[in-house]
Amino acid sequence: MKKILKLVSLFTILIFAVNCDDTEDFEFTTPVESFSIITPGDGVSIILDGSNDQNPALTIVWNDNITGAETYAIEMSIDEEFTNPLTIGNSNSNTFTMSVEGLNSLLLDNDISALEETSIYLRVIGNDSQTSAIRLTVSSYPEENPIITSPDSTFEIVLSDITEDETALTVDWTDPNFSPDSPVVINYNIEIAVAGTDFATVESLGDTQDRTLSFTHSELNAAALNLGLQAETVSMLDLRVRSVLETTSGDLERNSDLITITVTPHEAGFPSVLYAVGAGLPDAGWGWGSPEEFISQGSIYSANVNLSPDNGGNFRFFAQQDWGPIGYNYPWFEARGYTIDADLINANDGDSNFQFIGTAGEYSLEIDTENKTLTLGNPTVGSNCEYDQLWLVGAGVPDAGWGWASPVQLPCTGSGVYAGNVNLANDSFRFFTDSALEWASPSFNYPYYTNEGYTIDSNFADAMDGDNNFSFTGTPGEYFLTVDTINQTITLGSPQTNCEYDQLWLVGAGVPDAGWAWTTPVQLPCTGDGVYSGSVTFANDSFRFFTDSALEWDSPSFNYPYYVSEGFTIDPNFEDALDGDNNFSFTGAPGTYTLTVDTVNMSITLN
């Protein structure tokens, strides 16, 4: 065995000797001396994504067979000359890695705005030597939310409709991760909510791409009331700035910290009914047993009231049948620029109530919110609605059809109530306000009333035609149709015939819409309890009442002496024409009036 090992060793030595004596030359390659970054390459783009903030964002690998350094420093600069280099880390090897979160914070901390593509330069330092710099394009994401700088939680305001167009609130904020001149488009929204509700229900005040936004008294008041705050009541609102940014990984929502502000809203407008009490209104007095009611008809509130200068003659308007929270005294109207009747002055009592200084009696007291007037006049007779009547047109109202030859009138029969007997068929129709304008008339379809909050009889539905008309789905026939604009209801009932005739008809030159012919006689419908009432246009000429338009001239008719002999009190604008038929003659100012023939109280009046 020992001999074998000796032979093997000798053989190995011989082979080595032979090889060393070989005439072939071997060259050993000396590595190229280098200190340079291998990766990433120059010009690489890095878009940071906050949804993966612990992932590696940047890994630098370099070669170094020159410096012999054991520790390396990695430097960053925003310019190629490294005017103000920043050491971003150190490494004991030939690699260096930063996470998404680390690189993002580094960029933001050095005033490199979020979402802006920016060039940065990197190099590696070892033993006073440095690699050539590489350029990277980077884009960071914002880490901080907007910060409200004004107002703070000490902010308080009492909103007023007197200054409704003046600025009530200005919100200023900063966005720390974006420069003031950042090209990034950021949409901000100012949101408010009832304090302490964690923004469960939000009202948006407005949006902007700036970092300031102002709101008027009117805008802030509307938003506060929409959130359910009570008028004339001190309330708290939470406010924040909200921003949603579109990023490559989806929408990024950012909310500022909230602040809590104190707001006292005002009533946005008068309610549908105003109430008044006081010694100047003796039928009401200073109590809530029988307050005077002023019902809204469009922009006008009016009522016939007894006024008295006795016992101080003072009174006040209220938005509710109670002393609070909302009342309207003399200075309230005065401050809003109302022209107030000379018989009403400031009582200068503790509440600055109205004081009536005129002659005791019945007056029509009218508040016109559009023209800003508060006036006294003679008491009005008849009904009180925004329109003298509504007109029904459509196949669902067969007496009218889809034409204007015979639209069906639904007269105003009381405060805000239109009512009358109507024949209905299973088809569609619509309400109109002015028959003279025909199709150009303002009109009200089914969605109009539903959007206004009306409760509508189940026999009506949306026709779902091009105009969303009413569709009658009940049993065809005659019904008593009521449109109540105060209680917001549209109802059907059994037909009411509380008059001797369903209507009276007016024909004559004194009623120019009719003339002395039967093509377009003017209808005066029975509105209940022996009363015929409706809108009629008069001219200074004669006319007569008839009972049956189908009979035309053979119809029973009533002239001026007929009503005189029956004991009727007749409006002074009418007199006996003293023509062959002793017709009525209209002698007043030509125009449109509400004509009422009351067969119970035996009166013929104009309003």
Q: What is the pTM of this model?
A: 0.54
Residue 14, phi then psi, degrees to nearest 5: -65, -45
Nearest-CA neighbor of 340 among 381, 383, 371? 371
Nearest-CA neighbor of 538 among 559, 563, 509, 560? 509
Q: String of b and e for 324-347 (b: at least 16 CB within 10 Å)?
A: eebbbbbebbeeeebebbebbebb
52-110 pLDDT tens trace:
889 999 999 999 999 999 999 999 999 999 999 999 999 999 999 999 999 999 999 98
- Tell me how far the alpha carbon of residue 516 is from its chain's centroid: 51
323-342 pLDDT tens trace:
988 899 999 999 999 999 99
Q: Which residues on adjacent β-strands are paired with residue 546?
A: 505, 557
Q: Which residues on adjacent β-strands are paired with residue 389?
A: 411
Whole-number pLDDT of residue 4: 36
Whole-number pLDDT of residue 2: 39
Strands (E) across 228-331 are located at 235-247, 250-255, 259-264, 273-277, 292-297, 300-307, 314-318, 327-328
Rounded CA-CA distance 422/398 in Å is: 9
Q: Which residues on adjacent β-strands are paired with residue 286?
A: none
pLDDT under 70: residue ranges of the chain? 1-31, 248-249, 297-298, 380-384, 414-415, 497-498, 528-529
Tokens standing for residue 144: 């901080």
Number of residues that this document lists for the chain:
607
CB 525 within 8 A of CB 411: yes
- Whether cis (ω within 30° of 0) applies to the bond prior to 476 is no
DSSP string, 444-508: E-HHHHHHTT-EE-TTEEE--STT--EEE-S-SEEEEEEEETTTTEEEEES----SSSSEEEEEB
Nearest-CA neighbor of 45 among 143, 149, 136? 136
* Residue 108 host element (H or E): helix 100-109
Rounded CA-CA distance 72/94 in Å is: 8
Whole-number pLDDT of residue 5: 35
Whole-number pLDDT of residue 113: 87
